[in-house]
Structure 1
């Protein structure tokens, strides 16, 4: 049975996506592959049987977590690990719980880094480009709030774009 790449993410409101895209268009080579998002679970592989079990698990998780608000006040960077600049989502118990639950039970647990809620706005930049962009954006402040009431299970197509496989509403 063939395996596909899957991931789990939250797509914020159009307002937040518009802000992120205003930077991503210029600074993120993955701009066309997926809309701005908060990754809850990194890319993993699963076949049809495995994904059916994961869907059941996601149903349970979504019913256990109530809708919640996120806040974005500034940008940050993963430098020196990677030259990625992102909108920093303020730490949030509900987000942390969602991510943690997606790394236990039937889920493949291949967490490479600890969970840092964020929306990428630039990546794969040279050292100089990263310094320039991060340096100028670091001085900006953002006042974005968003109500989160769902998350998505995504799968990756052959052209590297990501598509929603299923949506899970929180607190059902």
Structure 2
């Protein structure tokens, strides 16, 4: 039997203590608003949307992500409250620092130029960094009820983005490998 392509995506994954906070919010959505879909992946900020890739060719992706991440500097990410893509998605809002926007643009351009990984829809819309806490299976009535509760809720967290993560889909999404952002900042 010939191997089939698997699905992957590239993201910033917060440190474990922040993952725990966001996972608690996802559990609340599952329990109170019957939305479990967001629990199928660890908390993350998608940089390169899902793409299909043959498992035997995965070392090419890993090598390119390692090269790319070595040229990137760690930076601060700020989570600030909640926002939505009505009528089905509620997410933890991410402040848009230039470093994050530049990283996402550079990563997508690099993967397109070197590996021909392209997500056409993302090329046509602006990047909205976010951490999804409810999606897909959130019904419009439950969206409205949840949004009433979450739109004014406070959540302010900062963390250092110090690596890229390659996630793989195997019934659920999980981290396959991480790549440190290892370019050094030179002080005067």
So what's the TM-score if we normalise by structure 2?
A: 0.80
Partner SS, residue 119 of structure 2: coil
Q: Give me the whole-angstrom Cα distance separating, in 2, the residues matched to 1:18 and 1:128.
A: 27
Structure 1 residue 146: Cα displacement: 0.7
The equivalent of 1:156 in structure 2 is 169
The equivalent of 1:144 in structure 2 is 157
The equivalent of 2:146 in structure 1 is 133
Q: Give me the whole-angstrom Cα distance separating, in 2, the residues matched to 1:32 and 1:127.
A: 19
Q: Which consecutive segments of 4 or more residues in structure 1 shift more than 3 A?
A: none
Structure 1 residue 107: Cα displacement: 4.2
Which residue, out of 76, 94, 117, partners 2:99? Answer: 94
Which residue, out of 11, 36, 45, partners 1:38? Answer: 45
Q: Which runs of 5+ in 2 are unaligned?
A: 30-34, 184-188
Q: Which runs of 5+ in 1 are unaligned?
A: none
Q: Give me the whole-angstrom Cα distance separating, in 1, the residues matched to 2:120 and 2:81.
A: 25
From the two aligned structures, give the one with the greater helix fraction. 2
Q: Which has the higher mean CA deviation after the structures are superposed, 33-42 or 94-103? A: 94-103
- Answer yes or no: is the 8 Å Cα contact 2:47–2:108 preserved in 1: no
Partner SS, residue 22 of structure 2: helix
**CA deviations over 1:76-95 (Å, ceiling 9, x no partner):** 00115xx1000011002222
Partner SS, residue 155 of structure 2: coil
Larger radius of gyration: 2
Q: Give me the whole-angstrom Cα distance separating, in 2, the residues matched to 1:163 and 1:107.
A: 23
* Alignment partner of 1:166 is 2:177: yes
Structure 1 residue 102: Cα displacement: 2.9
The equivalent of 2:119 in structure 1 is 110
| Superposed CA RMSD | 1.9
Q: Give me the whole-angstrom Cα distance separating, in 2, the residues matched to 1:94 and 1:49.
A: 33
Structure 1 residue 18: Cα displacement: 2.3
- Answer yes or no: is the 8 Å Cα contact 2:83–2:92 preserved in 1: yes
The equivalent of 2:13 in structure 1 is 11
**CA deviations over 1:31-64 (Å, ceiling 9, x no partner):** 4422111111111101146433222221122112
Structure 1 residue 155: Cα displacement: 1.2
So what's the TM-score if we normalise by structure 1?
A: 0.87
